[in-house]
Amino acid sequence: MKGRKLLAVLICVAVGLFALSGCQNSQTHSPEPSKDADPVPEVQIKRDLTVSLPAAYTVSADMDFQDVPGQFDYAFTAELPVLIEHAETIVRGVVQEVTFTSYAGNAFTAISFAVDECYKGDAQQGDCITVLHRGGYIPLTEHLKQYPSDAYLWASRSEEEIANTVLHEVYEREFEQPQVGDHNIYILGHPSAETNLPMEAYWRVRGVVSLLHIEPDGESVSRINPDLGPYTKDWRTVQNGIDPYGNEIFSLKDVIDMISAD
């Protein structure tokens, strides 16, 4: 990924969200699936491998939210076999907690993820790991500490208004964050030393397309289509002939076969 791109700021509808932190040892997730839902596994946590975070932001509906959309440049394509080749670790499991944090003035989302199955790498069933990705919520005041040159964008706001402003950094149409209880497959690597992120954490090898959500039928997975056009909040209105929400759909068996062939 190359740097941060601060684009035109768009007004976002305020939504009440809460920052959660950590994943405790021996925690068990016990969702209540519907009759036709994918049977989300109950994962007994055996090893807590989550990392300490520099901050955990609580976001409330009375704050002023501003969308900051952007995208990254990558050195390789979004094709699944290519992502699998670049991955150090590929795991299937359940989202335990979602925390909004930041590093060097940039918003990050930290996912505490309980591993139910490891298809590639050294992770074990029962590990609880931290998956970091760019984007999420950060108070404007925290952003400006690292990027004071951005202050001109907010020159018309009073100190009180700035203190009440939260940036919602959105990359590659990822307006919706993973939710507790989501049953996902992550295609992961470790951050490099130059990122100044905790190297014990994981991150997705090519952004949001490295996140595969297991669908309710338990036999297919979906991801955001990387070929869709402008990164706007109206991306769900796009029809691509596959899915009314602009997603790509894959057979879970085909994905596992791709991993096995790597």
For 1-30, the three-class secondary structure string (H helix, E strand, C coil) is CCCCCCCCCEECCCCCECCCCCCCCCCECC
In a domain, 5, yes or no: no
| Tens digit of each residue's pLDDT (9 = 90 or more) over 164-218 | 999 999 988 788 888 999 999 999 999 998 999 999 999 999 999 999 999 999 9
In a domain, 52, yes or no: yes
In a domain, 2, yes or no: no
In a domain, 144, yes or no: yes
In a domain, 206, yes or no: yes
DSSP 234: T
In this prediction, residues 110-121 reach a mean pLDDT of: 98
Tell me the residue range of the domain where 248 lies. Answer: 10-261
**Strands 220-224 vs 211-214: parallel, antiparallel or unpaired:** antiparallel
Counted domains in the chain: 1
Q: Provide the whole-model pTM.
A: 0.81
DSSP H or E segment with residue 139 = strand 136-139
In a domain, 3, yes or no: no
- Which sign, positive or negative, has the C-alpha torsion 29, 223, 244, 178? positive
CB 255 within 8 A of CB 83: no
> Which candidate, 145, 155, 159, 138, places its Cα nearest to that of 65?
138
Q: Examine the pLDDT at 38 and tell me if it is beyond 90.
A: no
166 — phi, psi (to 5°)? -120, 130
Position with higher pLDDT, 97 vs 59: 97
| Cα separations in angstroms, 123 against 90, 106, 126, 149 | 9, 28, 9, 42
Q: Examine the pLDDT at 240 and tell me if it is beyond 70.
A: no
In a domain, 179, yes or no: yes
- Which sign, positive or negative, has the C-alpha torsion 24, 56, 133, 64? positive
